[in-house]
């Protein structure tokens, strides 16, 4: 079985499970609480290996009971690690009998675990990249919406400003006062000089 450690500390996410016919599917019992010692060791990057159930340490009583319930007589767990990051585990178990795990077998399993760890890291990186792309696209859409809103506000403001200026100019003309400079400024045009107006 190849499994990934979850972020929620509840259930182990089995990525792939191989089992012989008639063997209980381990996915039904993949709660972290069922294997606290084993998972703790693997998360620290340590190998878990026992040939017999009584080979487990005394502080692995919960694990021992779970293995016994599943009729597992022997197992090996190899951490899936890249550098100091442990992402999951590769676990092989034997039901109803003892199995010695020779050092050369352990070395081969560690090599295979390294390959799976690299693949898992690439998959995690691809998922994270996709998430970041989505976030970036969202930020771009929000920025575009802000620019569009500002542009619409500007376009709506232009006629209102012109209308307001025209109303003020109309009031100045209606008042009959000689405020040509104010009128000139409001309308934004060059008026004739006073001597030109007089002629």
- Which tens digits make up the pLDDT trace of 105-132? 999 999 998 888 888 888 878 888 898 8
- The CATH architecture one would assign to domain 2-132 is 2-Layer Sandwich (3.30)
| Residues 89, 78: Cα–Cα separation, whole Å | 6
CA dihedral 28, 34, 36, 42 (to 10 degrees): -30
- A 10 A CB-CB count for 66 gives 18
Parts of the chain with a pLDDT under 70 = 6-12, 19, 23-30, 157, 159-160, 162, 172, 176-199
The residue ranges of every structural domain in the chain are 2-132
> Is the whole-model pTM more than 0.75?
no
Q: Which helix (H) or strand (E) holds 13?
A: strand 13-16
- A 10 A CB-CB count for 157 gives 11
Query: Quick one: pLDDT at residue 46?
Result: 93
């Amino acid at each position: 079985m190849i499994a990934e450690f979850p972020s929620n500390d509840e259930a182990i996410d089995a990525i792939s499970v191989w089992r012989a016919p008639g063997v209980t599917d381990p996915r039904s019992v993949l709660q972290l609480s069922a294997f606290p010692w084993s998972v703790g060791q693997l998360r620290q990057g340590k190998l878990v290996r026992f040939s017999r159930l009584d080979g487990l340490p005394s502080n692995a009583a919960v694990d021992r009971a779970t293995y016994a319930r599943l009729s597992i007589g022997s197992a090996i767990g190899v951490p899936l690690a890249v550098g100091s990051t442990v992402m999951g585990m590769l676990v092989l178990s034997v039901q109803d009998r003892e199995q010695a795990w020779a050092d050369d077998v352990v070395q081969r399993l560690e090599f295979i675990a390294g390959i799976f760890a690299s693949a898992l890291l690439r998959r995690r990186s691809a998922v994270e990249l996709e998430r970041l792309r989505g976030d970036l696209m969202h930020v771009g859409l929000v920025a575009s919406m802000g620019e569009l809103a500002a542009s619409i506000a500007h376009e709506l403001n232009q006629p209102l400003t012109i209308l307001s200026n025209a109303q003020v100019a109309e009031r100045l003309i209606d008042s009959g006062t000689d405020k040509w400079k104010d009128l000139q400024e409001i309308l934004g045009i060059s008026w004739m000089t006073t001597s030109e107006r007089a002629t």
